[in-house]
Amino acid sequence: MRNFAICVMLVTGCIMSCGFAAETNSLPINSHPETDAYNGWHLAIQAWSFNRYTFFEAIDKTASLGLHYIEAYPGQRLSKEKPEIRFDHNASAEVKKEVKQKLSDAGVRLINYGVVDLPNNEAECRKVFDFAKEMGIETIVSEPTPETMELVDKLCKEYNIKVAIHNHPKPSFYWNYEKVLEVCKGRSPSIGSCADAGHWMRGSLNPVEAVKKLEGRIISFHLKDLNEFGKPDAHDVPWGTGKADIPAILAELNRQKFKGVFSIEYEYNWNNSVPDIRKSIEYFNAQAAKLNPSGWVDLFAPDLSNCTYKPDTWVYSDGVLSANKDDFIWTKEKYGNYILDLEFKVDKGSNSGIFLRCGSMENWLNTSIELQVLDSAGKEKPDKHDCGAIYDILEPTKNMMKPAGEWNRCTITCKDNKIYVVLNGQQIIDMDLDRWTQAGKNPDGTPNKFSTAYKDMPRTGFVGLQGVHGGEGTTYYRNLKIKKLPG
Task: Map 18-77 to HEC letters.
Answer: HHHHHHHHCCCCCCCCCCCCECCEEEEEEHHHHCCCCHHHHHHHHHHCCCCEEEECCCEE
Q: What is the mean pLDDT of residues 375-403?
A: 97
Average pLDDT, the chain: 94
Residue 24 confidence (pLDDT): 56
Give pLDDT tens digits for 64-80: 999 999 999 999 999 99
Residue 110 confidence (pLDDT): 98
Residue 4 confidence (pLDDT): 41
Residue 29 pLDDT > 70: yes
Q: Strands 328-331 and 76-77, how do they pair?
A: unpaired
Residue 473 confidence (pLDDT): 85
Picking from 104, 39, 44, 32, the residue whose alpha carbon sits closest to that of residue 69 is: 44
Q: What is the mean pLDDT of residues 297-306?
A: 95
Domain boundary among 277, 294, 311: 294
| 19 within a domain of the structure (yes/no) | no
Is 288 in the same domain as 353?
no
Is 286 in the same domain as 314?
no
Given pLDDT bands bounded at 50, 70 and 90, which one contains residue 28? confident
- Do residues 281 and 66 make contact, with C-beta atoms less than 8 angstroms apart? yes
The span from the CA of 438 to the CA of 442, in Å, is 7
Is 259 in the same domain as 353?
no
Helix 55-64 / helix 93-106 crossing angle, nearest 10 deg = 20
Residue 57 pLDDT > 70: yes
CATH of the domain at 424: 2.60.120.560
- Do residues 243 and 227 make contact, with C-beta atoms less than 8 angstroms apart? yes
Is 170 in the same domain as 148?
yes
Is 281 in the same domain as 307?
no
Q: What is the mean pLDDT of residues 18-23?
A: 49
- Which residues form the domain of 418? 300-484
| 164 within a domain of the structure (yes/no) | yes
Domain boundary among 276, 294, 312: 294
Higher pLDDT, 27 or 356: 356
CATH of the domain at 276: 3.20.20.150
Q: What's the predicted TM-score (pTM) here?
A: 0.92
Is 245 in the same domain as 338?
no
Give pLDDT tens digits for 305-356: 999 999 889 999 999 999 988 999 999 999 999 999 999 999 999 999 999 9
Residue 25 confidence (pLDDT): 64
Is 282 in the same domain as 305?
no
Given pLDDT bands bounded at 50, 70 and 90, which one contains residue 6? very low
Give pLDDT tens digits for 103-150: 999 999 999 999 999 999 999 999 999 999 999 999 999 999 999 999
Is 314 in the same domain as 459?
yes
Is 339 in the same domain as 440?
yes
| 1 within a domain of the structure (yes/no) | no
Is 359 in the same domain as 452?
yes
Total count of domains within the chain: 2
Domain boundary among 294, 323, 357: 294
Give pLDDT tens digits for 420-452: 999 999 999 999 999 999 999 999 999 999 999
Is 237 in the same domain as 343?
no
| 36 within a domain of the structure (yes/no) | no
Percentage of the chain beyond pLDDT 70 is: 95
Q: What is the mean pLDDT of residues 82-103?
A: 98
For residue 162, CA distances in Å to 86, 152, 158 come to 24, 9, 11
